[in-house]
Amino acid sequence: MKRLESIDDLEKLRKAIIGKNKAYIKTVALCGGTGCRAYGSESLKNAFEQALKEHNLSDKVRLIFSGCHGFCEQGPIMIIRPEGIFYSKVTEDHIDLIITETLIKGNIIDSLLYEDPTTGEKMVYEKDIPFYKAQNRIVFGQNGSIDPTNIEDYIAIGGYSALCKVLNGMDPTEIINEIKESGLRGRGGGGFPTWQKWESCRNANGNPKYLVCNCDEGDPGAYMDRSLLEGNPHLVLEGMLIGAYTIGSQEGYIYVRHEYPWAWANAGIAINQAREMGLLGENILGTGFSFDIDIARGGGAFVCGESTALVASLEGRMGEPRDKQHLHTVESGLWEKPTNLNNVETWANVPIIINNGAEWYSKIGTEGSKGTKIFSLVGKVKNTGLVEVPMGISLREIVYDIGGGTPNGTKIKAIQTGGPSGGCIPSSMLDIPVDFDELTKVGSMMGSGGMIVMDEKTCMVDVARYFVKFLKDESCGKCLPCREGLKRMDEILTDIIEGNGSEEQIELLHELALVMKDASLCGLGKTAPNSVLSTLQYFRDEYEAHVIDKKCPAGVCKDLITYSINADACTGCGACKRNCPYEAIEGERRKPHVIILDLCQKCGSCMDVCKFNAVVIS
């Protein structure tokens, strides 16, 4: 790869790559995101490559192993351009057919098309699919057009032009102003105005100044940052370069969670390629601006997503947060030097804003929350995946129009947002607009973007305990209210779930929650009680059912439920008996089967395999 010595060089290269790509008649983008990989898309890619060679099409058809497309439920996903034909659930068996029918003859293969679950209509083109139609993928959309391990793909779609614009004559104050006008707020959960952070860091005393990209995305169920860093690392690098130029930093770090191997691998490849081309390192594009980035891997600690804990981790210490009272990271962070830490998605928004302008950006979203947000829509929803929507869209639109509602037609009970630090929003509030302030008003928060759909078969007390248990293990353990408080909350919630709870304990839970909110040292402890507080606020009846009636209305809590077989619905097929790991089901063929309660461990295997809905929970 030739080193670029000037902005001109980059533009020339861009034209050359675009020209080179014109030789291809078709481009096939096969999704290489973690979700699709888990479905086997890597071996699919290899097989497809081989098949193209055999058909002598390698010069005419460009195959890209692209970044995550977001529609994980339908993977492996393949998009054929320029038409934009969308094939889902592609397997190796389909390869020959795709090549001969679609690529060569131009025919659509019906069986690979996405079928709208509500209307039954088959959609041919990506742009028509409801899942994508209702989105506004200004940030995430690029993923599907590039191979993240090839910098040329990024350059071809206009990559690094925002950096050129900046280096070509925008001074730091202008850049900060542009970010201010855009209204960009931190996408990691804090929602802090990005321009303010940059300005404070720029004005802070101390040298050198450091830049950090927080990819320690630890909220269970949230994987936006992973898909961005893994699927389009150069977008993040470009954002960091612009930030570094603005703040006056020459050293940056990307802190990636250990559990994201492809994210740090692809980020590493991207950094190396950028260095080779002279887009990172000394004297970038001959402008005298120097900036380089190192990747640090996390060790499996959710608390390291907290900025002061992350800094401690970078310094080679335990990830213990620091009391953030008078001193902020922007003034005293890494090695007590001014440090600007932003989330992956925040960095990714920067080149988009610089390229398109703050005015364009600020037209998207609401008054207090501009731009878009990428959410990971998971749980009891048909279309699981990553969605990018304008701020201000309602929860209802996300869950129904994009998500397609619940898979089995069960009623939605609540939407959990904001990860473990967030809260549960009851279905009665589905029309609230999604933005930073609105979500906080109802007792939840935007957080990093996790959005978990829960239906009537979800026990809210169980949900609260799930999050408390998670945070209990992830707490750094330094401060008393968080460490002891979470331990005791877990104990009380377990008592309630096992049928040993009391009304006094519900009150105690509430009292403890309020103290933890105020007295904890860091954000983890302060927001840890949110799951308990929000479920107590909106689903108190479930708590009371557990302690007063000793019942679990959702049919989840093992100690409060019994499994039985409805004799009327049972056909005696024996599937349940065969699959029961505890040999707790008795019955003869074609006669109704019976569950032996003493042996039943309530694992749910019988329910999973019964085709006649004969297994009942009471």
Q: Is residue 477 within the footprint of other proteins (CB under 8 A)?
A: yes
CB of 302 to other proteins, least distance (A): 7
Q: Is residue 583 within the footprint of other proteins (CB under 8 A)?
A: no
- Choosing from 41, 340, 343, 475, the residue that interacts with other proteins (CB under 8 A) is 475
Identify the CA nearest to 432 among candidates 388, 394, 377.
Answer: 394
- Choosing from 179, 399, 454, 547, the residue that interacts with other proteins (CB under 8 A) is 454
* Tokens (6 digits) for 95: 């390869």
CB of 237 to other proteins, least distance (A): 18
Q: What is the Cα–Cα distance from 305 to 418, expressed in whole angstroms?
A: 13
Q: What is the DSSP letter of 564?
A: E
Q: What is the Cα–Cα distance from 51 to 95, expressed in whole angstroms?
A: 7
Please say which residue, 171 or 323, places its beta carbon nearer to other proteins: 323
Q: What is the Cα–Cα distance from 227 to 465, expressed in whole angstroms?
A: 28
| Rounded CA Rg of the chain | 26
- Choosing from 157, 442, 519, 616, the residue that interacts with other proteins (CB under 8 A) is 519
Residues 279-308 that bind other proteins (CB under 8 A): 294, 296-303
Q: Which residues lie across from 594 on neighbouring strands?
A: 586
Q: Is residue 599 within the footprint of other proteins (CB under 8 A)?
A: no
In the three-class reduction of DSSP (H, G, I as helix; E, B as strand; rest coil), residue 166 is classed as helix
β-bridge pairing 423-426 and 450-455:
unpaired
Q: Is residue 35 within the footprint of other proteins (CB under 8 A)?
A: yes
Are 470 and 450 a contacting pair, CB within 8 Å?
Answer: no
Residues 152-211 that bind other proteins (CB under 8 A): none
Are 80 and 28 a contacting pair, CB within 8 Å?
Answer: yes
Instruction: Give the total of residues touching other proteins (CB under 8 A).
Output: 90
Q: Is residue 542 within the footprint of other proteins (CB under 8 A)?
A: no
Helix residue ranges per DSSP H, 501-545: 503-519, 523-527, 530-544
CB of 66 to other proteins, least distance (A): 17
CB of 343 to other proteins, least distance (A): 16
Please say which residue, 6 or 579, places its beta carbon nearer to other proteins: 579
Q: Is residue 553 within the footprint of other proteins (CB under 8 A)?
A: no
362, burial (CB in 10 Å: exposed 0-12, middle 13-18, buried 19+): middle
Please say which residue, 163 or 415, places its beta carbon nearer to other proteins: 415
173, burial (CB in 10 Å: exposed 0-12, middle 13-18, buried 19+): exposed
Residues 242-261 that bind other proteins (CB under 8 A): 253, 258-260
CB of 431 to other proteins, least distance (A): 23
Q: Which residues lie across from 343 on neighbouring strands?
A: 214
Q: Is residue 512 within the footprint of other proteins (CB under 8 A)?
A: yes
CB of 316 to other proteins, least distance (A): 3
Residues 400-419 that bind other proteins (CB under 8 A): 416, 419
- Choosing from 5, 473, 541, 588, the residue that interacts with other proteins (CB under 8 A) is 473
The site map against other proteins for 314-353 (x = CB under 8 A) is: xxxxxx---x-xxx--------------------------
Helix residue ranges per DSSP H, 183-260: 194-203, 224-231, 233-247
Please say which residue, 298 or 371, places its beta carbon nearer to other proteins: 298
Q: What is the Cα–Cα distance from 576 to 607, expressed in whole angstroms?
A: 8
Q: Is residue 503 within the footprint of other proteins (CB under 8 A)?
A: no
Q: Is residue 379 within the footprint of other proteins (CB under 8 A)?
A: yes
Q: What is the Cα–Cα distance from 347 to 49, expressed in whole angstroms?
A: 34
In the three-class reduction of DSSP (H, G, I as helix; E, B as strand; rest coil), residue 26 is classed as strand
Q: What is the Cα–Cα distance from 125 to 136, expressed in whole angstroms?
A: 16
* Tokens (6 digits) for 464: 């609260």
Please say which residue, 432 or 508, places its beta carbon nearer to other proteins: 508
Q: What is the Cα–Cα distance from 514 to 3, expressed in whole angstroms?
A: 57
- Choosing from 218, 404, 405, 449, the residue that interacts with other proteins (CB under 8 A) is 218
> CA torsion sign, 10 to 16 to 20 to 26?
positive
Q: Is residue 34 within the footprint of other proteins (CB under 8 A)?
A: yes
Are 61 and 103 a contacting pair, CB within 8 Å?
Answer: yes
> Of 34-42, 107-115, 189-197, 433-441, which part binds other proteins (CB under 8 A)?
34-42
- Choosing from 520, 527, 534, 535, the residue that interacts with other proteins (CB under 8 A) is 520
- Choosing from 234, 472, 577, 593, the residue that interacts with other proteins (CB under 8 A) is 472
CB of 384 to other proteins, least distance (A): 4
In the three-class reduction of DSSP (H, G, I as helix; E, B as strand; rest coil), residue 193 is classed as strand
Q: What is the Cα–Cα distance from 18 to 34, expressed in whole angstroms?
A: 28
Please say which residue, 222 or 280, places its beta carbon nearer to other proteins: 222
Please say which residue, 40 or 248, places its beta carbon nearer to other proteins: 40
Q: Is residue 446 within the footprint of other proteins (CB under 8 A)?
A: no
Residues 89-128 that bind other proteins (CB under 8 A): none
Q: Which residue's entry shows tokens 């209802």?
A: 396
> Of 162-170, 233-241, 583-591, 599-607, which part binds other proteins (CB under 8 A)?
599-607
Q: Is residue 398 within the footprint of other proteins (CB under 8 A)?
A: no
Q: What is the DSSP letter of 141?
A: G
Q: Is residue 478 within the footprint of other proteins (CB under 8 A)?
A: yes
Please say which residue, 138 or 452, places its beta carbon nearer to other proteins: 452
Q: Which residues lie across from 255 on neighbouring strands?
A: 214, 296
